[in-house]
């Protein structure tokens, strides 16, 4: 995967309502406040970044101990397994209500991003960063996480504003595409890609 793929995955996360833009729009519509919507999105992106950064830390910490091939194979198995679980699961983690403080919103975003395997999608990129010096692997991984999250944030902001200003949440009832299923297939595909590349 290249940096372009990292950006595209970030954009895909930004489009996916489960990653937070729908929550931001709902908060904005509930209070009739575009400002509240715009305040919510950076906080959601911060929670997303924290989830992805946790995966980066794990990969960079084990990179010197675990060989790249073993890590890539393990990552591929995790991705495929997580994707299949996501496809077959009937329940998703749900938060209890819509009135959250900004720190609670960041925690919600972190949990949702983690449950949906946001950082796992970057494993094919992270496992290819040269292990060499621990600091280089960590900084390279954090750069990938930052670019990915920036793409997610920009896309989510554009989608949220378009829905808030022109469509409203009601349109989602009429024209809904199940991005969760697409996301699960993407996880499985990334896992297969990682396994093939490691063998």
- Mean pLDDT per segment of 10 residues, for the chain of length 199 residues? 84 85 82 87 94 84 56 69 74 52 84 76 76 68 92 95 78 54 66 65
For residue 2, the model assigns a pLDDT of 77
Cβ atoms < 10 Å from Cβ of 177: 10
Indicate the pTM of the whole model.
0.72
| Structural Rg of the chain based on CA atoms | 17
For residue 111, the model assigns a pLDDT of 78
For residue 143, the model assigns a pLDDT of 92
Sequence ranges of the domains in the chain? 3-198
């Amino acid at each position: 995967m290249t940096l372009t793929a990292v950006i595209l995955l970030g954009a895909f996360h930004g489009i996916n309502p489960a990653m937070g833009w729908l929550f931001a729009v709902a908060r904005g519509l509930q209070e009739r406040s575009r400002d509240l919507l715009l305040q919510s999105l950076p906080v959601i992106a911060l929670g997303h970044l924290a989830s992805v950064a946790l995966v980066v830390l794990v990969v960079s910490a084990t990179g010197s101990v675990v060989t790249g091939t073993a890590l890539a194979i393990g990552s591929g198995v995790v991705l495929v397994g997580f994707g299949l679980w996501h496809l077959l699961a009937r329940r998703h983690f749900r938060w209890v209500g819509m009135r959250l403080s900004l720190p609670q919103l960041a925690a919600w975003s972190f949990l949702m991003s983690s449950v949906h395997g946001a950082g796992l999608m970057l494993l094919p990129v992270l496992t290819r960063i040269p292990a060499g010096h621990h600091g280089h692997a960590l900084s390279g991984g954090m750069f990938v996480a930052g670019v990915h999250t920036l793409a997610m944030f920009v896309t989510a902001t554009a989608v949220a504003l378009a829905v808030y200003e022109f469509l409203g949440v009601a349109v989602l009832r009429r024209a809904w595409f199940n991005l969760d299923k697409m996301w699960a297939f993407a996880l499985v595909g990334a896992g297969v890609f990682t396994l093939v590349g490691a063998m």
